[in-house]
Amino acid sequence: MTAVLEAPAGTEAPQAKRPRRRPAPLRVLAPVAVFVLVIAAWAASSHLLVPEASRFLLPPPEAVVAEGLLDPVARTEILTALWNTVQVALCGLAIAIVLGVLVAVVMSQARWAEFSLYPYAVVLQTIPILAVVPLFGFWFGYEFGSRVIVCVMVSLFPVVTNTLFGLKSVAPAEHDLFTLHGATRLQRLWKLQLPAALPAMISGFKISGGQAIIGSIVADFFFRQGVPGIGRMIDVYRQRLATEELLTALLLSSLVGLCLFWAFDLLAGRVDRLHGKR
Amino acid sequence: MSIDPALAFRGTSLTFANGTRALHDVDLEVRPGEFVSLVGPSGCGKSTMLRLAAGFETATDGSVEVGAGRLGYVFQEATLLPWRTVARNVELPAELAGVPKAERREAARDAIERVGLAAFAKHRPSQLSGGMRMRASIARALTMRPELFLFDEPFGALDEITRQHLNAEVGNLFARDGFAGVFVTHSVPESVFMSTRVVVLRGQPGEVAADLPVPFPFPRDPELRYTAEFAALASEVSAALRGAEQEVPA
């Protein structure tokens, strides 16, 4: 036994420490290897499959880096637009998280609330966002607030469903424990249901993060007015056949989504350790 | 002089909303200073009786009278909140009751010491063995200073050695504190070792099939299990249990 703690007389030793998470090399090297392979395949396709004359349709990676990232004008243009998009997305995500958790809490407290609200949460998910974006433009204008509303709309559902699932996943015996000790509704929510729901909530936030960024881009793409974000730039580059810039914008947008996902993953790791799961 | 029972079932029946009859016309009194084990085939309503006593269920007929003021309940699983340390888990009941922090910390520390977990107060449940988690669960119930102590088959998932240790320790707590105990178990030796009375239930729905006094004085030595008197009583309980099981259609 590797346990360093002394067990009280007559009990078995505490469980040995669980093995640490996978060693970092594999966690980092494996995705890097895939990245290298994809870039190689891209470069090979561009150089070998596409004729020189139409290479602008699929420029090789080095051209994308040179014209999209290293060119100061294009880089500033893309990063400025991306920053606008990210601000909208983060703001929308924050509101979606607060609102979604509140809605889920209300649903968890009363069946009638769940029954009456849940179908509309589903509607949020199924409504074609492309059709809604122009309407929001008519109603709320084309500036920051209107874009944030689009983001909230597309990122709310995962927060609501995951939080509700988490709140309801509390073991019956744990509810009995709180009943036995005369817990109030608020105590039950605050000291039992919300902490128990935390891992599921964060899973929801992970999905919502990506949705919020897509929402921000889509709103910008269709509004064609107001402060331009990366969606508008994507449209501009498309019309200009500036494929290098287009790909740069696309890749950087994905990178932002990925960073957001990682941030929540880090948070999830901390919560899991707190819950003794890792 | 008659002492009011700590717990009394009087003609108690419970039929669930789906029509399942869990208990039928059960009469049982548990007096202060008694430790009663409930044994019976699976699904005979043993645990349901504890759930009625704790107020998790309500009798559909007859009554359940709880004379004791303070109630301790040990669940089948340790039921510790994984995000809280042992100490914070043990102080939960007092926290929910609004007891000031210093006072409940003190009570939790005492209870943790009594179950021999002092060195593990800052550990999280996931860092403990099954037996230690159950000790923490017992400590949590002890902070209630229970007059009626209910155990819902708490040691079923533990290995035999750990189980015997915990049997002896709960016996010592009983000998010292003199609460009224009700202990649900599947194990005949455990029921005899722990109790002043073994009640055999038959099901379903549950009814009292036999009620056998256990005369051995407390505190009990673990070696008691290997005496002839113990064996004789255990075989009597077993016989009653077999009788109870035969009446249930397979």
Interchain contact, A11 vs B162, CB within 8 Å: yes
Domains of chain B: 1-70+146-250 (3.40.50.300), 80-145 (no CATH)
In a domain, A27, yes or no: no
Position B203 pLDDT exceeds 80 = no
Q: How far is CA A179 from CA A188, B17, B50, B82, B87, in A?
A: 9, 20, 14, 18, 20
Whether residue A27 lies within 8 A of chain B, CB to CB, comes out as no
Answer whether residue A18 is part of any domain. Answer: no
How many angstroms separate the CA atoms of A146 and A187, rounded?
Answer: 37
Residue of chain B whose Cα is closest to the Cα of A181: B93
Percent of chain B having pLDDT more than 70? 97
pLDDT in tens, A138-186: 999 999 999 999 999 999 999 999 999 999 999 999 999 999 999 999 9
Chain B residues lying within 8 Å of A180, measured CB to CB: 54-56, 71, 73, 93
- Asked, for residue A59, whether it belongs to a domain, the answer is no
- Alpha helix positions (H), chain A: 24-44, 61-64, 72-109, 111-126, 129-140, 144-168, 172-180, 185-188, 194-223, 230-240, 243-274
CB contact under 8 A, A14 and B126: no
Residue A21 lies in a domain: no
Q: CB–CB of A237/A243 below 8 Å? A: yes
All residues at 6 or more sequence positions from A56 whose CB lies less than 8 Å from its CB, including other chains = A241, A243
Alpha-carbon distance A154 to A223, whole Å? 16
Average pLDDT in the B74-89 region? 96
pLDDT bracket for residue B248 (50, 70, 90): low
Q: Tens digit of pLDDT for each residue in A99-111?
A: 999 999 999 999 9
Assign residue A193 the CATH number of its domain. Answer: 1.10.3720.10
* Residue range of the domain that includes A162: 70-274
Inside any domain, residue A2: no
Residue B250 confidence (pLDDT) above 70: no
Q: Any idea of the CA torsion for B51, B54, B58, B62, to the nearest 10 degrees?
A: 100
Q: Nearest CA to B123 among A14, A269, A278?
A: A14
pLDDT at A4 over 90: no
A56 is a domain residue: no
The whole-number pLDDT of residue A277 equals: 72
Asked if residue A35 belongs to a domain, the reply is no
Is residue A147 assigned to a domain?
yes
Split at pLDDT 50, 70, 90, the class of A188 is: very high
Above pLDDT 90, what percent of chain A?
79
Chain B: residue nearest A274 by CA? B83
Split into its structural domains, chain A has a count of 1
| A60-83: pLDDT as tens digits | 999 999 999 999 999 999 999 999
Would the pTM of this model clear 0.90, i.e. be above it? no
What pLDDT sits at residue B43? 79
- Contacts with A11 from chain B: Cβ below 8 Å: 116, 129, 131-132, 135, 162, 165
ipTM of the complex: 0.92
